[in-house]
Structure 1
Amino acid sequence: MGVIANVFGTAVVVYVLQWYFNRRKIYKTFKNLGIPGPDPNLFFGNLWTLRWSKNLSSDCLSEWRQQYGNMYGYYFGVVPHLVVYDLDILRNVLIRDFSIFSNRPKIFQAQAKEIKLALQGLRDTRWKEVRSTLTPTFSMSKLKVLSKFMSESVDKVSEVLKDKARSGEEVDIHEVYQRLTAEVIAVTALAISKDLVRNPHDEFLAAVRKIFRNTMNSAVMVSMYFPGLQSTLAFLAKFSVLGKMSSQVTSNIQNEIDKRKNGLYVNDSGRTDLLQLMLDARKKDKLSRGLSDDDIIANVWSVMLAGYETTSNTLSFCSYLLAKHPDIQEKLLQAILDKFGDGEVTYEGVHEIDYLDQVVSETLRVFTPLPNFKRELAEDTVIGPYKIPAGTAIECSSWEIHHDPDIWPEPYKFKPERFEADQKAARHPMAWIPFGAGPRQCIGMRYALLEIKMSLCKLLRQYRFIPSAKTEFPELNMIPSVTTNPKNGIWLKIEQRI
């Protein structure tokens, strides 16, 4: 027994020493290169500071930029991250040298299938194959078909707001838009006829909200601090409330796929949804390995999550900004009326209103939906004056770029005229990147912009957004999350136009 104990004790000591010296070696990466940055903690790298010392991670990155300059390094757990603000270098990373930076960092080695097989998690050749297969799904012709169902859901929002306008009560517009985007996703992704806009307590809506509230839970943080525990935590996560909800949703998608493959799906409404478009794309794909059921489930799932969160947030922030700037709200209304009058809001029409595009673009700048994004370096590469080793994550803080006073004078002011044609042409192409840039730009960008613009066109013709006693001034309180989120909702009053 004593021999076993000695062997075990020796093994533990050897493991701890190996762990210690390996961490020390990783955490010397930037110091050895002469790259400035905050000192890492042996256990957490700089992740503890990034996530918990400030209200938002963007605040922390801003402070580090002021301290260390336009290129610095920090450690996201054990993954070295080089933060770059030079727009020419970012253009090289995202576009010109894309073959070297084509992958997103593998922060979680033991990823769930829904992450690993979605476009966001795919790498190298497989990413290119799936992206090529899915791109036609988001073409203009396909989105034009889906726009009809978006329009029907927005009409339901109009009914909800009519009741609020009549009663004079304040409304959390963020919560209402969450219902809208969840319903649009349910209808356009899965042809599920759910009346989520008028049913705020629906189980599907509650499940999606819980998933987003738990994106940065303690298990996720521990897995980033200690990558060796990721497989164990990933297995245990299947039995958590979040894991069970995710499994239920993916199981429903699989059942829907089986129905359609076996001819059991009856489409009484004649609707075409994203799931069917992906299944059709699989049939037409002759150039690659095609899409498996798991591939389709993962990508429908990712569209559901991405479309729900970022779109509802952007609509909410835009309504808030318009309430704060009634002159801009009325100018936008006039542009909408000049285009449509009181007639039908069409797919083609919403893309032809220049001022609408300016308002939405400026909203995406002021409240950048995804504050940062990253690319993984595939080989040792010279970036600026440094030779950066393969495996390093190159991080772009889009929030910081969108609020840089050297690029955007008075960056926290809402000024849609920044996006007039002459001003856009004078700016660096990497100065505005809410959806990323290059081949890995968000595939659902057109889908999101269509829903945002169609909603604003239909709602502003009927209602005026007004600040209420609960509207937060001068700024909104934000909550730390993967995306830019209002902490306390967005409260406004709704006034019906005569």
Structure 2
Amino acid sequence: MDTKDTDATVSFVSNTSVVTLLVTVAVVLYFIMTTRRSRVRWESLGVTHVDVNILKPLTLQFHHLMQEHGPTFGFSNNGPELVSRDLDLLRHIMVKDFNNFVNRKEELWTKSPIRDGLFFLKDNDWKRIRRLMSPSFSTGKLKSVSTIVREAACHLGDAFAECARSGSHVKLLHVTGQYTTAVIARTAFGVQADSIGEEEDDQFTLSVKNIFRTFSMFDFTLDRFLLKFPEFRAAIVNIFGVYLVDPCPKTSVDYFNSILKETIADREVAERQGSSGLHNDFLQSLVSLKVATDVSNARMSTEEKTTSTKATGASKKAIAADEVIAQSLMTILAAYETTTSTLQFCLFELAQNPDIQEKVFREIMDVVQHEHPTHEELAKLHYTEQVLNETLRLFPPLTFVTRRARESWTFGSVTIPAGAVIHIPVREIHRDPASWGPDPETFDPDRFSEEKVAERNPLAFMPFGQGPRICIGMRLAYLELKEALVHVLRKVKVELNETTVPRQATKEWILTVLQLKGMKKVKDFTPLKKICCIYKL
């Protein structure tokens, strides 16, 4: 071997060793500094400091910690984090002083476009997309998509009735998931997906149900560990494009991407050509907005664009194609699990409380005078809405939400430093005896009577959040839930059977046997056969 080549090899090995050593030292120093950074004590800030096990779900610890330390306490993870169910404090954080607490802590560490969905956006990006999407959820737009919801609810009611007549078993999570997905498919993706009541899901429905993968214990532990090192976590996702525990499977994301890119392109062409056959759904609203603002941008001078960007913090282009995709995918996260779980829990509680179910049924029969309920009739189903609210109180879709302080902020004796995270324990707030009486675990829709609501702090009930960041799809969720109950309960009655069989696959599932009763006449229940339903508890 040539001496020069040997020297070059030695030099290369030497340089590699130096780089490896420097990287190792940098990583070690980063982990040490991060660990030291997280050692923030809350006593000096007027709050009780507690220790939490970051490798365990926080929601499982909040209840016991509040029993021991009171409604407000703090802990350190990757910086100071506060937990409080003090409604006066939360009113300032979520409403009055919202501008200091605009952002959430949550970030979705994934390579999928969902990470840019409205729920996870921050600062001006959140304000811009929220402003642009709000008209898509107006009263007028909800009325325009109500036909889509109604058709899916009809199919759901028919599926229940057919199972009751045939005596076949139905998995409640399975069929309610099919119902929710049918609505998502039409309103957010512009495609037809209707497998309601079928044993096998269609491709769209299956992909929706698999949009988030199930974590193994190793995955969960690794994910919780990486929470302590956010910069390292961000680097392996954003720089290296790798994330070992990406919650969004590539197969499902690729499937939705392919559908949306093709659909958006076709709709843009139709929009620009002034076609009269445009769709009337949420996706079309975003596409129309993109086309309109693209045209507006093309007419603006460079100076005008610069001035607009400086004034609003966002370009006049308003929304780009990848952002349309992100918000459409976000609909799955916001709509699927929320509506599916609430509907199955509601039916479960109605089965446990036949007197309440009878009141809901009577109200539906008295108010709804048409085969398909009108928007006005749905608005008059007051007791039905009380039942839904009580379901959401006991089983909130999100057990807690977060905010992050932009600047240091003081309320009474409590100081929240800049950058601190505030955990708002929705489940604990919804079961706080101070707001809900001595027996908050009992299912009681009368808690939401007009008189009781007027007496209670509005922040005692926040299944969709509160303040400017309240869930943008809240009214759509109520529309779906009311339509479903009308079409199901006019055809069947649910009753609990004494048999309860635990599902072996996971401890999170409980198998409950229900008995559905069909009706020969509109107001007469006739006993039919047992239907097997699965609930996620």
TM-score past 0.5 threshold: yes
Q: 1:229 to 1:116 in 2, by over 3 A?
A: closer
| Aligned residue pairs, count | 478
Judge conservation of contact 1:174–1:312 (CA < 8 Å) in 2. Answer: yes
Give the structure 2 partner of residue 26 of structure 1: 38
Amino acid at match of 2:264: I
Give the structure 2 partner of residue 497 of structure 1: 519
Matches within 5 A, 1:437-452: 437-452=466-481
CA distance in 2, matches of 1:478, 1:93: 41
Judge conservation of contact 2:178–2:201 (CA < 8 Å) in 1. Answer: no
The question of 1:236 aligning with 2:242 is answered yes
Out of 329, 345, 355, which is 1:301 matched to? 329
Q: 1:491 to 1:274 in 2, by over 3 A?
A: farther
Amino acid at match of 2:226: S
Give the structure 1 partner of residue 288 of structure 2: 280
Q: 1:472 to 1:445 in 2, by over 3 A?
A: farther
Question: 67-76 or 369-378: which moved more?
Answer: 67-76
Q: Return the index of the structure with the highest Cα Rg.
A: 2
Q: 1:271 to 1:492 in 2, by over 3 A?
A: farther
The question of 1:428 aligning with 2:457 is answered yes
Identical counterparts, % of pairs: 30
Give the structure 2 partner of residue 224 of structure 1: 227
TM-score w.r.t. length of structure 1: 0.87
Judge conservation of contact 1:370–1:398 (CA < 8 Å) in 2. Answer: yes
Give the structure 1 partner of residue 61 of structure 2: 60
Give the structure 1 partner of residue 531 of structure 2: none
Matches within 5 A, 1:324-339: 324-339=352-367
CA distance in 2, matches of 1:472, 1:435: 32
Q: CA shift at 1:167, angstroms?
A: 2.8
Judge conservation of contact 2:112–2:253 (CA < 8 Å) in 1. Answer: no
Q: 1:445 to 1:261 in 2, by over 3 A?
A: same
Amino acid at match of 2:289: A
- Alignment partner of 1:497: what SS? strand
- Alignment partner of 2:433: what SS? coil
Q: CA shift at 1:47, angstroms?
A: 2.0
- Alignment gaps of 5+ in structure 2: 1-9, 297-307, 309-315, 521-537
Q: 1:13 to 1:190 in 2, by over 3 A?
A: closer
Out of 48, 65, 71, which is 1:36 matched to? 48
Give the structure 2 partner of residue 263 of structure 1: 270
CA distance in 2, matches of 1:441, 1:496: 39
CA distance in 2, matches of 1:360, 1:305: 20
| 1:270-306 alpha-carbon deviations (Å, 9 max, x no partner) | 7412100112233455784411011111111111221
Q: CA shift at 1:33, angstroms?
A: 3.6
Judge conservation of contact 1:368–1:398 (CA < 8 Å) in 2. Answer: yes
- Alignment partner of 1:291: what SS? coil
CA distance in 2, matches of 1:413, 1:477: 28
Judge conservation of contact 1:173–1:489 (CA < 8 Å) in 2. Answer: no
Q: CA shift at 1:7, angstroms?
A: 7.6
Amino acid at match of 1:129: R
Judge conservation of contact 1:374–1:396 (CA < 8 Å) in 2. Answer: yes
Q: CA shift at 1:374, angstroms?
A: 0.6
CA distance in 1, matches of 2:470, 2:179: 25
Q: 1:479 to 1:303 in 2, by over 3 A?
A: farther
Q: 1:136 to 1:477 in 2, by over 3 A?
A: farther
Amino acid at match of 1:368: P
CA distance in 2, matches of 1:238, 1:144: 43
Give the structure 1 partner of residue 444 of structure 2: 415
CA RMSD of aligned residues (A): 3.1
Judge conservation of contact 2:338–2:397 (CA < 8 Å) in 1. Answer: yes
CA distance in 1, matches of 2:432, 2:372: 40
Give the structure 2 partner of residue 54 of structure 1: none
Q: 1:69 to 1:297 in 2, by over 3 A?
A: same
Q: 1:393 to 1:493 in 2, by over 3 A?
A: same
Question: 160-169 or 120-129: which moved more?
Answer: 160-169
